[in-house]
Amino acid sequence: MEFLLELLPKAFALSLATLFVFLFLRLVFSWWISPIQTYYKLKRNGFRGPPPSFPLGNHKEMIKKKKNAEVFSKLEYSNILTHDIHPIVFPYFSSWQKSHGKVFMYWLGTEPFLCVADPEFLKKMSAAVLAKRWGKPSVFKSDRDPMFGSGLVMVEGNDWVRHRHVITPAFSPLNLKAMASLMVESTNRMLEKWVTQINSGNQEIDVEREITTTAGEIIAKTSFGMNYENGREVYEKLRALQMTLFKTNRYVGVPFGKYLNLKKNLEAKKLGKEIDKLLLSIITTRKKSISKGKPQQDLLGLLLQDNKVEGRQGKTLSTQELVDECKTFFFGGHETTALAITWTLMLLAKHEDWQNQLREEIKEVVGDKELGDMNMLAGLKKMGWVMNEVLRLYPPAPNVHRQARENIKVDDLTIPNGTNLWIDVVAMHHDQTFWGKDVNEFRPERFKDDAHGGCEHKMGYLPFGFGGRMCIGRNLTFLEYKVVLTLLLSRFSFTISPNYCHSPSILLSLRPTYGLPLIVQPL
Ligand code: HEM
């Protein structure tokens, strides 16, 4: 017995040492050996790209190129107002594309990515995979978990089919029609505020900030019925969460990268939990009001009603899934739409002729009629071309993601299972090969007789993504864009303020870094 007791500490030390060696070998394998193996596999398949160094991948070069581009664009571009934005917003992709072609590999930490800016490659790749068999990059899922949870943007497989099946009817034109009056109400409130400011002698308005706030209010009302009084807290926390997650350089894909920004990550987690709690209480209250027979016609109300339909077991959403969808609608829907309107105002302020043409069209089609009739709004044809052209030059969602969940054959190449795909929408929308010499000019008429704007490849224009996973909120955006722009152009004219600094950048979406100050004059 004594002999055994003497041996025990030695045995314990030995097992501890074995455990350390095992953990060390595992780290070496997953940080260096496994990524290097994948690197050579991709290379054998013919994919080239900038050389990575593990475990950081290409992060260092990306950060350096981004910093240089920021300095350069501030010095060279800020007053020129160029629309040739790919080298400004994705300087690393722009330079790698020149050296390695339109499909190349790069690394975020130990995660392999293929950057795709070739529409033909994309067409073949997407034809080979059903929507439900695509994955979403695991690194983004964990990084953006507090924002999207298991909402539609991130969910995969049969769960994605179930979510999409339940949510699609809520976005039907008939259901959306009821939301137009909410949009008019919020926009008019913003415009009254502008009138007060202008009357006090200040005609310069940061249109980006104003429209983002109003779009946030609209999406919160149309998604989960939040009104100004009860929802301010949810709205502010949702915005704070987005800023916390995206305002720092994040080492996505780098092992333990989270701990390099520990404070921010913990803050984001805490905000995420607080938002979940608030939304949960909204949903619980709403469930009670539905059982008392008082359903509301917002997206949450429609999903809750659908959940109660008999015989839909297995095709409903759990309460946590509803919380995640509310967050997804907010993050997926408000900034993208706000930025589409913001960039439109920048371009209309620069092109007074188009501003006048749209005003004429509004007079003819809308006149004194009430906004919200979808058929009437569909008659705003020129406004539709302008929207398409804005989404081409300044796509608010500048890229689309996928992750291969199987080996994918494209001609004689194989994209290995687990590879992440970054579809570079900005590059494709500014590719002279497909759009012609005037690619960087604002020419809405290119969409007059062609939904693809004359692009020589159908997959070269992707503002809302592609395949079965294409944006579910398109119709809501069309409605909001036309309602808000009609109200704005009917009451004001816009010119660029001398204080505007043209510096588009990416903070999840494509936005004007220093806002959009415009000189606003009542008509
Ligand atoms: C200008 C406005 C908008 C733009 C440019 C935009 C763009 C996109 C893009 C590029 C995708 C990815 C598609 C893909 O992976 O192939 C997407 C997906 C999605 N969008 Fe939008 N979006 C806009 C407005 C909205 C709105 C208003 C909502 C909802 C309120 C919304 C909700 C979603 C959701 C839930 C998905 C995920 C769909 C899925 O994976 O099945 N979006 N959007």
DSSP 153-179: TT--HHHHHHHHHHHGGGGSHHHHHTT
Distances (CA, A) of 277 to 155, 237, 283, 284, 303: 21, 12, 10, 11, 19
- Indicate the annotated binding residues for heme: 471
Nearest one of 477, 415, 438, 429 to 457, comparing CA atoms = 429
Supply the pLDDT for residue 7.
64
Distance between CA atoms of residues 216 and 329, nearest Å = 10
Pocket test for ligand 1, best of 162, 471, 477 (most atoms within 8 A of CB): 471
- Indicate the annotated binding residues: 471
Q: How far is the CA of 288 from the centre of ligand 1 (A)?
A: 30
Pocket test for ligand 1, best of 464, 466, 480 (most atoms within 8 A of CB): 464
Ligand 1, atom 13, lies closest to the CA of 465
Q: Which atom of ligand 1 is nearest to the CA of 425?
A: 10
Query: Residues 228, 230, 232, 235: is their CA dihedral positive or negative?
Result: negative
CB distance 337 to ligand 1 below 6 Å: yes
CB distance 152 to ligand 1 below 6 Å: yes
Q: Using one digit for the tens of pLDDT, what is the confidence trace for 479-503?
A: 999 999 999 999 999 999 999 999 9
Residues 109, 55 contacting (CB under 8 angstroms): yes
Distance between CA atoms of residues 260 and 243, nearest Å = 17
CB distance 473 to ligand 1 below 6 Å: yes
CB distance 132 to ligand 1 below 6 Å: no
Kindly give the residue spans of alpha helices, DSSP state H, lying in 249-318: 262-291, 299-307
CB distance 336 to ligand 1 below 6 Å: yes
Ligand 1, atom 22, lies closest to the CA of 471
Q: How far is the CA of 508 from the centre of ligand 1 (A)?
A: 13
Ligand 1, atom 43, lies closest to the CA of 471
Q: Which atom of ligand 1 is nearest to the CA of 219?
A: 30
Supply the pLDDT for residue 332.
84
Supply the pLDDT for residue 281.
87
* Statement: the pTM of the whole predicted model exceeds 0.95: no
Distance between CA atoms of residues 213 and 207, nearest Å = 10
Nearest one of 499, 198, 504, 494 to 347, comparing CA atoms = 494
Supply the pLDDT for residue 521.
96
| Phi, psi angle pair for 411, to nearest 5° | 50, -125
Give the residue ranges of the chain where pLDDT is below 70: 1-5, 7-8, 74-79, 227-231, 247-250, 291-295, 306-314
CB distance 153 to ligand 1 below 6 Å: yes
Query: From the centroid of its chain, how far is CA 267?
Result: 22
Element of type H or E holding 464: none
